[in-house]
Amino acid sequence: LAVEPPFGYYIPVGHIENQEQAKSGQMMLFASEAKLAENQLPMDKVLTAIRPALTNPDIPKIAHNAKFDYIILQRHGLTISPIGGDTMIAEWLSDPGTKFKGLKDLALQRLGIEMTEITELIGKGRNQITFAEVPIEDAAPYAAADADMTLRLYEPLQAEVKEKAMLELQQLELDLIPILADMEQAGIGVDVPFLKEMSGELETQINEEEARIFEIAGHPFNVNSTQQLSDVLFKELNLPHERLRRTSSGHYSTASDVLEGLKPADEQGIVKSILNYREMQKLKSTYVDALPEMVNEETGRIHTSFNQTGAITGRIASSNPNLQNIPIRTEMGQQIRRGFVARPGWQFLAADYSQVELRILAHISQDEALLDAFRHDQDIHRTTAAAVYSIGLDDVTYNQRRFAKAVNFGLIYGMGPFRLARDSELTLAEAENFIKTYFERFPGINEYLEKTKELARTQGYVETLFGRRRYFPVFQVPAGRANRQAVNRAEREAVNHPIQGTAADIVKIAMVRLHKALTGNYQAKMLLQVHDELVLEVPDAEVTAVREIVVDTMSGAFELAVPLKVEASTGHNWLELKD
């Protein structure tokens, strides 16, 4: 604890008397059975003493990575309120690309103070001990310094956040901390027997696919070896390899994008089999086999970690495991979602924003054609295809709509004619003409793209509608000295940030309001945030009411020039979700 620099205080609880006790299996931070070291207060008395201050609404609490402290104390029955500051979040808001998110790095960078590293106390590798085993005389100055440095960093960081007009954005992030903590602790149910069965089925399919590969090759080999696979494809089967890149060993690349390009020339089907083999192996190792190992023994659920400061755009990231990256594009990948299940008597409710980034683009660009399409609830991709191909809406083919969809989303990410030609069957000239026609039909979009690039070049950063900045140091490099690829990448990121970042901000606003609407009124809980989608677990009896609240809250999170459309679905597993 710290209340005034340069002083910090440490209240020792749970330190174990000697290492042997911990090595015998009693290594928990606040061990109850191990013999505790002397000169410590009982945990219950400490919690009783600090509870008034940590729950007093008139005393803001400041921390570095406050979500961690919030969760630890909540597990001991103490809910911190309010969270008045988080120096990790403040540093990230001030400089989204910062390399100094850790307290030790931040103190050295901003205060010039070198702090003791945790490894100096607990060691590394096999000889690493727990913090409970660290002698109090060593733990006290380390822990007190953490609190002291956090408090010292708070004021200068707050000054920067205020100077950059980000106080409201910071409050949004602070409000989100207990919500993400609750989501992490709620976890999500997993059908382990189903995943075990799926693992066996995948193993059989992998072996069958491998046998097909060996049959075409004429002999067995290590399919996972780039060198051996390259020799089979290009030396033995003579697949075209002109202009293919080589690996450091001198062999032709067998990366997935290379194999995809070989499909038209693959008359025997070995490339398709290799891609299927790789996909099944990845699904099995990364998800089907790994997920059951991550199930918490006490709760029977998987508990991911949400990272607020993991993305420059403001998007929330998920890790250990990454539940935002569960496959959805392939049929095999989709089956993994069947393994995520609601508890008996409950359902999953998923609600996602429909084409939110294109709606934000319409709002920011004020392109009349785009605005009109969304205001009349038209199929935006069909509308785009009709405009570009100069045909009626009813005359748009499936392929024309699919192509228009790729262009609509591609332009948000700075796609140019080279990439359009590469990702389609168009020649470069045809791709250039298509984009030219597109911008003639939607001039406001082209104006937005060019103005945003110019803004990034002149002021060095761009913002979301809520003032979330992204900086581009490459534009500060003298003309002619900047790497062209880096400049092109920065221009693409500059175009995308106001759109993707605003979408992230809107979702966060919806999460805060939804949490407030549900807490104390319903049992339903938010479990996951998957970019533009929220996944909740809801008792059967609450589904109708909560669905209405979720849709209304999300669609009303922010007023754009076009409606925010939200689509909701329910189901007993993640794959089963239906309208």
Domains and CATH numbers, the chain: 19-164 (3.30.420.10), 192-294 (1.20.1060.10), 317-356+504-571 (3.30.70.370), 358-498 (1.10.150.20)
Mean pLDDT computed over 515-536: 97
How far apart, in whole angstroms, are the C-alpha atoms of residue 350 and residue 290?
Answer: 24
- Report long-range pairs for 374-380 (Cβ below 8 Å, ≥24 apart): 374/562, 374/563, 375/562, 375/563, 377/563, 377/565, 380/355, 380/408
With H, G, I as helix, E, B as strand and everything else as coil, classify residue 421: helix
Least confident of 90-104, 110-124, 267-281, 405-419: 405-419
How far apart, in whole angstroms, are the C-alpha atoms of residue 502 and residue 364?
Answer: 10
- In tens, the pLDDT along 253-285 reads 999 989 988 998 999 999 999 999 999 999 999
pLDDT of the residue at 19: 53
In which band, very low, low, confident or very high, does the pLDDT at 61 lie, cut at 50, 70 and 90?
A: very high
pLDDT of the residue at 21: 46
Mean pLDDT computed over 484-495: 93
How far apart, in whole angstroms, are the C-alpha atoms of residue 568 and residue 579?
Answer: 6
Alpha-carbon Rg for the chain, nearest whole angstrom, is: 27
Give the DSSP letter string of 490-527. HHHHHHHHHHHHHHHHHHHHHHHHHHHHHTTT-S-EEE
Given a cut of 80, whether residue 578 has pLDDT beyond it is no
Could you tell me the CA-to-CA distances from 518 to 30, 351, 572 in Å, in that order? 33, 15, 20
pLDDT of the residue at 20: 53
Mean pLDDT computed over 236-261: 89
How far apart, in whole angstroms, are the C-alpha atoms of residue 164 and residue 158?
Answer: 10
Residues in the chain: 579
Q: Is the dihedral of CA 282, 286, 289, 291 positive or negative?
A: negative
Mean pLDDT computed over 151-174: 98
- In tens, the pLDDT along 82-101 reads 999 999 999 999 999 998 89
Residue 134, burial from CB neighbour count under 10 angstroms (0-12, 13-18, 19+): buried
Mean pLDDT computed over 531-537: 96
pLDDT of the residue at 537: 99
Least confident of 143-157, 241-255, 505-519, 542-556: 241-255
In which band, very low, low, confident or very high, does the pLDDT at 508 lie, cut at 50, 70 and 90?
A: very high
Tokens of 506: 């809107």
**CA proximity to 543, closest of 570, 579, 566:** 570
Given a cut of 90, whether residue 430 has pLDDT beyond it is no
pLDDT of the residue at 210: 98
Given a cut of 60, whether residue 29 has pLDDT beyond it is no
Three-state secondary structure of 199-248: HHHHHHHHHHHHHHHHHHHCCCCCCCCHHHHHHHHHHHCCCCCCCCCECC
pLDDT of the residue at 507: 98
Given a cut of 90, whether residue 424 has pLDDT beyond it is no
- In tens, the pLDDT along 318-350 reads 999 999 999 888 888 899 999 999 999 999 999
Mean pLDDT computed over 222-242: 94
**CA proximity to 271, closest of 219, 218, 228, 233:** 233
pLDDT of the residue at 482: 81
- In tens, the pLDDT along 386-398 reads 998 999 999 999 9
pLDDT of the residue at 18: 62
Look over the chain and give the mean of its residue pLDDT values, rounded to a whole number.
Answer: 93
In which band, very low, low, confident or very high, does the pLDDT at 427 lie, cut at 50, 70 and 90?
A: confident
pLDDT of the residue at 414: 79
CA angle 208, 213, 215 (to 5 degrees): 95
Mean pLDDT computed over 409-429: 83
**CA proximity to 324, closest of 574, 558, 65, 576:** 574
pLDDT of the residue at 419: 84
How far apart, in whole angstroms, are the C-alpha atoms of residue 72 and residue 14?
Answer: 14
How far apart, in whole angstroms, are the C-alpha atoms of residue 289 and residue 302?
Answer: 14
In which band, very low, low, confident or very high, does the pLDDT at 379 lie, cut at 50, 70 and 90?
A: very high
Question: pTM above 0.75?
Answer: yes
- In tens, the pLDDT along 462-487 reads 999 999 999 999 998 887 788 889 99
In which band, very low, low, confident or very high, does the pLDDT at 307 lie, cut at 50, 70 and 90?
A: very high
In which band, very low, low, confident or very high, does the pLDDT at 560 lie, cut at 50, 70 and 90?
A: very high
Q: Which range has the top average pLDDT, 25-34, 61-70, 124-133?
A: 61-70
pLDDT of the residue at 28: 44
Residue 406 sits at φ, ψ, to 5 deg, of: -60, -40
**Percent of the chain clearing pLDDT 90 (strictly above):** 81
